[in-house]
A = this chain, B = another copy of it.
Amino acid sequence: MRAEIIAVGSEMLTPLKVDTNSLFITGRLNEIGLDVAAKTVVGDDRALLADVVRQALARAEVVLLTGGLGPTADDVTREAVADALGLPLDEDAAIVQRLEQRFGRRGLTMPANNRKQALVPRGAVIVPNEKGTAPGLVMARDGRLVVLLPGPPRELEPMVEHVVREHLAAFAGPFRLFRRVLRTTGRSESQVDALVQPIYARWTSWPTPIQTTILASPGQIELHLAVRAADASQAQQVLDAATQEIASALGPTLFAVGDRRLEEVVGELLRAQGLTIATAESCTGGLLASRLTDVAGSSDYVERGVVCYSNRAKADLLGVPEATLGEHGAVSEPVAVAMARGIRERAGTDLGVGITGIAGPGGGSAAKPVGTVVLALAWADGERVQTSWFPGERDQVKFFSSQAALDMVRRRLLGV
């Protein structure tokens, strides 16, 4: 069964703003087995919008509109949909009363233009809005459903849940979409694809076929598995089996099943093992510490971090010997190890991380080009060090470096 989404609002036709509500809506529609066949963004133009609604209704069983339900003259969604369906608009007394009460509770009189929000195409079912003034509307026409919801995400999202539960789920039938996300780091998209493509190619011929999408974001590749089934426990079994196959193909590069971030995974491991950590950063400039401390409760295992942008700071704060800096240069394995050891000893933590590199755009050389980064991890009786090269602009080099450092810690904690 096919759905189309129409987002209404001239601000989404500027170079500044994209419609993101449709991502949330698509997720919910997919879960109940509805595919989204097209998405349209239209400005606050009644005639054009009515035209677009008519065309969508000619193609899809469900048409869901967001935005343009406010009280101002710009807001034309109600009127345009009434035009498209050839329905008159009636004022709904119950909505007027609720609006008046809503303003009354804040000691205000309802402005006259808010009355517009009580207009309802004849026969529409009203969807309550707990977070704002614009009610939603659901209309049936020739075995098709038209849904109108307000644009602000805070109002929209609970109303989508309500409409899915009360109107769309039964309409869409018994099949549901079950998803699972697997996250990996340390390999490129094409490397991951080469490893898993032979596996998921077979899944399409399983009795309950699995659909797979690979999504690359900086320093991380995600596999999205989706199964369409009427039976939840059967779907979970199929996804469990698939996850197991992928996990053994990917090995330790798989860092999460589900949507946890790498810094959360590292934090959970540190907490579970009762260990503490401190960081010494040069080229990442504090990004590693900032990511570690993005996790709630990270003060339990992050003791301190230092950002050493000068050689003097490396000597003062970490005890990196000037001779080591002079002999090998600031971006070198001996310096990274001295940084990791130095911060670990001074902080009195179980683990110490050292990062030094050239984030660019300046500072590169033939021997050590921009993007050269050395990572070191020190623990009580040992250390690990690696030199890498990361592509891209300054902020990308910083991010890739912090990602590789987090992954180095993760692998040490897992012993892989």
Contacts and interface: CB of A to CB of B under 8 A. Distances in A.
Interface in A40-97: 40-43, 45, 48, 51-52, 55, 59
Interface stretch (A98-106, A300-308, A375-383): A300-308
A293 B285 contact: yes
Contact of A48 (B37, B284, B296): B37
B285 A361 contact: no
Contacts of A37: 13, 42-43, 45, 48
Contacts of A167: none
Given A38-B41, A286-B290, A299-B310, 14 more contacts: A12-B39, A14-B30, A15-B30, A16-B215, A18-B20, A40-B40, A281-B286, A284-B290, A286-B293, A286-B305, A287-B290, A293-B309, A298-B309, A313-B347
Interface in A289-333: 289-290, 292-294, 296-299, 302-310, 312-313, 316-317
Given A14-B213, A38-B48, A290 B398 contact: yes
Contacts of A360: 296
Nearest to A215: B16
A23 interface: yes
A415 interface: no
A185 interface: no
Contacts of A296: 360-362, 394
B18 A19 contact: yes
A298 B360 CA distance: 11
A26 interface: yes
A156 to B, nearest CB: 15
A45 B297 CA distance: 48
A286 B304 contact: no
Contacts of A27: 15
Contacts of A298: 285, 309
Given A30-B15, A310-B303, A292 B297 contact: no
Nearest to A346: B316
A338 interface: no
A363 B310 CA distance: 34
Per DSSP, chain A at the interface is: mixed
Contacts of A18: 18-20, 22-23
Q: With a 10 A CB-CB cut-off, give which of A18, A309, A317, A359 has the most chain B CB atoms.
A: A309
A177 to B, nearest CB: 10
A115 interface: no
5 contacts: A13-B26, A51-B59, A290-B290, A299-B310, A316-B346
Contacts of A38: 13, 40-43, 48, 52
A360 B297 CA distance: 8
B316 A293 contact: no
Contact of A307 (B11, B304, B308, B346): B304
